[in-house]
Amino acid sequence: MKKIAAALTIMIVLILTSCSGSEKVRPEERSQTPEKSGTVITYISPVRPGDPDDTPVSTDNAETAEPDETPFETPEETPDEAETGLPTAGETLTPPPSEEPEETLTLSPEPTKTPTEKPTASPSPEPTEAPTEKPVVTPRVRPTATPAPSPTPDPDATPEPEPADPYAYIERVTSPVDFNGNGIDDYTDFLIGARKDAENHPRYDASYQANGYPPDDVGVCADVIWRSFREAGYSLRYMVDRDIRQNKWRYPMIDSGKEKRDSKIDFRRVRNLRIFFDEYAIKLTNDIDEIEEWQPGDIVIFYNNTHIGIVSDKRNELGRPYIIHNGGQAEREQDYLGGDHTVAAHYRFDASRVPEEMLIPWEG
């Protein structure tokens, strides 16, 4: 903008100079309007008509004026001359060289500002407390002990004795009779026969059998008893039937006519076995804590003459013997004494005390 203003100023000065024409400079103005040309000062006096002393001076033969001893003081430039650079009289106006090419001002429409939508600040979510997680309690796992390899047995070494039976002091009672002559006393044969039945694990079935004996894979609690007697060589079926025929009055259900005597089923009824053993076996204690009185091969009746079994040679930590019986349970040799299993009767069949006519051998 400053350059444009300076150019406009120069044009105005040129126009004014051309308009002044033949205006003469007064004599008093000669000394005030010096023309600077390097170090030579030339005074130009225009011809004014009627001035006798003024003779036209040719500028071509103008002598160069020697400077006075007092140096010519150049009048200070006024602020207007300093700022605008106006020319003095007689100076040839030469436009200053432009250091830079003039700028061409092109007015262009202001760019349309596209309104920018301010981003809508999303409300900051309220801080939510993280749910307090319960500490996960890892169950302690007991380390499994790796069994140490068993050492190779030394054939020359003396075998270590097995742990002592805490109830070894209980003297085992054996029968004085070996009825079948197999070299094993009757009480032990009773135990062996009962255990065979338990290992065979017959299905519990109380149905009537046409020939009297159910097959080995079928049975009830009373079938454990006659199979135990079979192992010792006795036919319990016919022994009971003989007693019913000879002593009918002992069996009230049959004696009263409520039940009909039937050798195919009478020996499989617990109430009839209870009457038979009351007459021909040794009656023992029902107290299960008198552990010495409970011997392998003994016969025990429970509840109200509804269940029966054989005493085992195996005992629990209290010294009470297990019972081998069939009530349809998975384990036929079971820790059964005590609790709700009320003992109704406890017997030991000693054939030496039974009339010989009542001892009938196994028929088959």
Helices (H), the chain: 2-20, 79-84, 186-200, 221-232, 236-246, 252-255, 270-280
Q: What is the pLDDT of residues 77-89, one digit of tens each?
A: 444 444 445 555 4
Q: What is the pLDDT of residues 213-228, one digit of tens each?
A: 999 999 999 999 999 9
32 C-beta neighbours (distance < 10 Å), count? 9
Residue 28 counted as domain residue: no
Q: What is the pLDDT of residues 291-307, one digit of tens each?
A: 999 999 999 999 999 99
Residues 6+ away with beta carbon under 8 Å from 98: 3
Residue 75 counted as domain residue: no
- At position 225, the amino acid (one-letter code) is I
Residue 151 counted as domain residue: no
Q: What is the full DSSP assignment across 154-198? A: PTTSPPPPPPPPTTTTSPPP--S--TT-SSS-HHHHHHHHHHHHH
Residue 221 counted as domain residue: yes
Residue 133 counted as domain residue: no
Residue 138 counted as domain residue: no
236 C-beta neighbours (distance < 10 Å), count? 22
Q: What is the spatial distance between Cα 88 and Cα 81, in angstroms, rounded to a whole number?
A: 10
344 C-beta neighbours (distance < 10 Å), count? 16
Give percent of the chain above pLDDT 70.
60
Higher-confidence residue of 310 and 81: namely 310
Q: Please say if the pLDDT value at position 29 is more than 70.
A: no
pLDDT of residue 113: 54
Residues 6+ away with beta carbon under 8 Å from 178: 184, 185, 186
Provide the Cα torsion 247, 249, 253, 259; round to 10°. Answer: 60
Q: Where residue 129 falls among pLDDT bands split at 50, 70, 90?
A: low
pLDDT of residue 11: 81
Q: What is the pLDDT of residues 242-296, one digit of tens each?
A: 999 999 999 999 999 999 999 999 999 999 999 999 999 999 999 999 999 999 9
Mean pLDDT, range 330-357, rounded to an integer: 97
130: three-class secondary structure by DSSP: coil
| Residue-range definition of the domain harbouring residue 193 | 186-358
Q: Where residue 25 falls among pLDDT bands split at 50, 70, 90?
A: very low
Q: Where residue 240 falls among pLDDT bands split at 50, 70, 90?
A: very high
333: three-class secondary structure by DSSP: strand
How many domains does the chain fold into?
1
Residue 152 counted as domain residue: no
Considering only CA atoms, which of 305, 285, 303, 257 is closest in space to residue 346?
285
Q: Please say if the pLDDT value at position 131 is more than 60.
A: no
Q: Where residue 42 falls among pLDDT bands split at 50, 70, 90?
A: very low
Eight-state DSSP code of residue 273? H
Residues 6+ away with beta carbon under 8 Å from 331: none
Q: Please say if the pLDDT value at position 120 is more than 80.
A: no
Q: What is the mean pLDDT of the chain?
A: 78
pTM over 0.75: no
Q: What is the full DSSP assignment across 10-68? A: HHHHHHHHHHHTTPPPPGGGTTT--EEETTEEE------TT-TT-----SSSPPPPPPP
Q: What is the pLDDT of residues 281-293, one digit of tens each?
A: 999 999 999 999 9
Q: Where residue 27 falls among pLDDT bands split at 50, 70, 90?
A: very low
309: three-class secondary structure by DSSP: strand
Mean pLDDT, range 44-65, rounded to an integer: 46
The region of weakest confidence among 116-125, 159-168, 170-179, 236-245 is: 116-125
Give the pairing type, strands 203-204 and 218-219: parallel
pLDDT of residue 45: 47
Higher-confidence residue of 158 and 281: namely 281
Q: Please say if the pLDDT value at position 30 is more than 60.
A: no
Residue 289 counted as domain residue: yes
